[in-house]
Amino acid sequence: MSEFMSDFYKVFIYADRYKMFLEGLRMTLLVSVVAVVLGIVLGLVLAIMKMSAVRKGRRTLLSVIANVYIDIIRGTPTVVQLMIMYFLVFQARAGFWVGVFTFGLNSAAYVAEIIRAGIMAVDQGQMEGGRSLGLSYGQTMKDIIIPQAVKNILPALGNEFIVLVKETAILGYVSIQDLMKAADFVASRTFITFMPLVGCAVVYYVVIKILSLGLNAFERRLRKNDNRS
Q: What is the pLDDT of residue 64?
A: 95
- For residue 87, give the H/E element and its range: none
- Tell me the mean pLDDT in the region 41-57: 88
Beta strand spans in 33-157 (E): none
Q: How far apart are CA 2 and CA 17, in angstroms?
A: 20
15 backbone φψ class: left, alpha, beta (φ>0; ψ -120 to 50):
left
Least confident of 50-64, 65-79, 123-137: 123-137
pLDDT for 145 equals 85
* 197: amino acid identity, one letter: L
Contact yes or no for 43/115 (Cβ under 8 A)? yes
Categorize the per-residue pLDDT at 229 as very low, low, confident or very high, splitting at 50, 70 and 90.
Answer: low
Hey, CA dihedral for 141, 70, 153, 100, is it positive or negative? negative
Domains of the chain: 2-228 (1.10.3720.10)
The confidence band for 148, taking pLDDT boundaries of 50, 70 and 90, is: confident
Eight-class DSSP state of 13: I
Strands (E), 106-167: none
- Distance of alpha carbon 220 from alpha carbon 226, whole angstroms: 10
Q: Does residue 226 have a pLDDT over 70?
A: no
Mean pLDDT of 2-28: 90
In the three-class reduction of DSSP (H, G, I as helix; E, B as strand; rest coil), residue 80 is classed as helix
In the chain, % helix, strand, coil (3-state, to 5) comes to 90, 0, 10
Query: How confident is residue 108, by pLDDT bands cut at 50, 70 and 90?
Result: very high
At residue 216, does pLDDT exceed 90?
A: no
Residue 143 in this model has a pLDDT that exceeds 80: yes
pLDDT at 227 over 70: no
User: What is the mean pLDDT of the segment spanning 79-105?
Assistant: 88
Summarize pLDDT for 158-171 with one digit per residue, the tens: 899 999 999 999 99
Range scoring the smallest mean pLDDT among 53-57, 100-104, 173-177: 53-57
- DSSP, residue by residue, 192-229: --HHHHHHHHHHHHHHHHHHHHHHHHHHHHHHHHHHH-
pLDDT at 222: 73
pLDDT band at 225 (very low <50, low <70, confident <90, very high): low
Average pLDDT over residues 154-159: 88
Q: State yes or no: pLDDT of 63 exceeds 70.
A: yes
Query: Is the pLDDT score of 94 beyond 70?
Result: no
The confidence score (pLDDT) of residue 149 equals: 83
